[in-house]
Amino acid sequence: MTTDDKAATPAPDDTENDPESTGPGPETEGNPKTRPLRMLLTLGLGGAGGILFHELHMPLPWMIGALVFTVIASLSGAPLVRPKRLRLYMVPVLGVMLGAGFTPEAIRHASEWVASLSMLLVYALGITAMVSYYLVRVAKWDAATSYFSASPGGFGEMALLGEAMGADDRKISLNHSVRIMLTVLVIPFWFKFFEGYQPGNMGALGNMADIRLKDAAILVACAVVGYYVARRLRFPAAQLLGPTLVSAIVHMSGLTEARPPQEIVALAQVVIGASIGCRFLGISLREMFGTMVQAAGITTFMLGAAYAGAWTVSYFTGLPVNTLWLAFAPGGLAEMTLISLSLGIDVAFVSVHHMVRVIFLVAMAPIAFKLLKGVLERAEAANKG
């Protein structure tokens, strides 16, 4: 591992309460006194990107516009700051919105998901094994760093587990950052320009002026109760999974039909997009180029393998290929379920698959690493020999 590799890798997006919202290290936090101004600049840039992409009728405009603008600014050395705590508050909003997409009709079809969920688990394990072997044998990384960089999900947890296993958590974080960024950029534009999908209408969510106080209280309760229960149960991605599950129960029981207003959802997308973009604070293209190329190649392979798995499941089950591809895609849980909502693709199906993928990968990571460790270490020794 070179000095450049170490310098090039951002810290994982993780805090004590949110495994995916760790901020950059002290070298990119800057002076705490200027943090409010830098936060305003970050959110202003993200909002400007969202407005521009919205006016251009781009897919998922608020998140992708914020992502693109803040990535460019971060790599240019702009004094931004990652909105870590805001992200912690915004992700439950998305969970409540996604839970509202679970309907009795969708749940009645859940028995049809067994084949796709089974294939998803095979895909996740197979991809992790193949990519980790490639990183050891070709990229010549150590076994632990290769394995925890190869997972198609669980960014924050993989960085933490990898560090505990002696891996380079900074390199792991860079790979997962690039994986999420590229998947979030590629998938919506592919669907728009090659599949003919149009962005969904956020107006269907309603606005803040229309929501009743009772409904607003129920939605807030879904977010708060869901998060804290999931956190107590130590669920991965508790800030999204908990509110999603509680919201799904509440909406299917008929307590409310309300959804978070479009203004709050747009703000949540801007915060999440800016959080992804600000993962690249404190580094330069020159420093990160080599590792980024590896990560881009791996992500392309994962997307292709996800499509192949989707096509195979579709052939045997008749489920739509595009829906399956979105369910198998190696993006972040919050980001991919947002994309499914934006494109009008079965939110319940996609979100359940991504939840299962994250839980499975996190639960299996230590066991799978022990099983593969011997093979990876022999490959590492062969490189040295």
Q: Which tens digit of pLDDT belongs to each residue from 272-287?
A: 889 988 988 887 677 6
Q: What percentage of residues in the chain have a pLDDT greater than 70? A: 89
Tell whether the model's pLDDT for residue 13 goes beyond 50: no
Residue-wise pLDDT tens digits, 179-203: 988 998 899 888 888 877 766 555 5
CB 258 within 8 A of CB 218: yes
Domains (range + CATH), the chain: 3-384 (1.20.1530)
Q: What is the spatial distance between Cα 164 and Cα 150, in angstroms, rounded to a whole number? A: 16
Tell whether the model's pLDDT for residue 12 goes beyond 50: no
Instruction: Give the pLDDT mean for 97-112.
Output: 77
Q: What is the DSSP letter of 281?
A: T
Q: What is the spatial distance between Cα 134 and Cα 271, in angstroms, rounded to a whole number? A: 34
> What angle, rounded to 10 degrees, do the helices at 143-150 and 155-164 form?
170
The first and second tokens of residue 65, run together, are 């516009």
Residue-wise pLDDT tens digits, 134-171: 999 998 999 999 999 999 988 877 887 888 888 887 78
The first and second tokens of residue 99, run together, are 């839970």
What pLDDT is stored for residue 144 in this prediction?
93
Q: How many CB atoms lie within 10 A of CB 104?
A: 9
Q: How many CB atoms lie within 10 A of CB 366?
A: 12
Instruction: Give the pLDDT mean for 280-296.
Output: 79
How buried is 7 (Cβ within 10 angstroms: 0-12 exposed, 13-18 middle, 19+ buried)?
Answer: middle
The first and second tokens of residue 108, run together, are 């009645």
What pLDDT is stored for residue 14 in this prediction?
39
State the pLDDT confidence band at 19, using cuts at 50, 70 and 90: very low
**Which residue bears the tokens 């199906």?**
349
The residue type of 212 is R
- Among 312, 313, 319, 357, smallest CA distance to 336 is for 357
CB 187 within 8 A of CB 299: no
Q: What is the DSSP letter of 374?
A: H
Residue-wise pLDDT tens digits, 24-52: 333 455 678 888 999 999 999 999 999 99
Q: How far is residue 207 CA from its own chain's centroid?
A: 26
Q: What is the DSSP letter of 255?
A: S
CB 49 within 8 A of CB 69: yes
What pLDDT is stored for residue 201 in this prediction?
52
Tell whether the model's pLDDT for residue 300 goes beyond 80: yes
Residue-wise pLDDT tens digits, 361-382: 888 888 899 899 999 999 988 8
**Which residue bears the tokens 């399956």?**
324
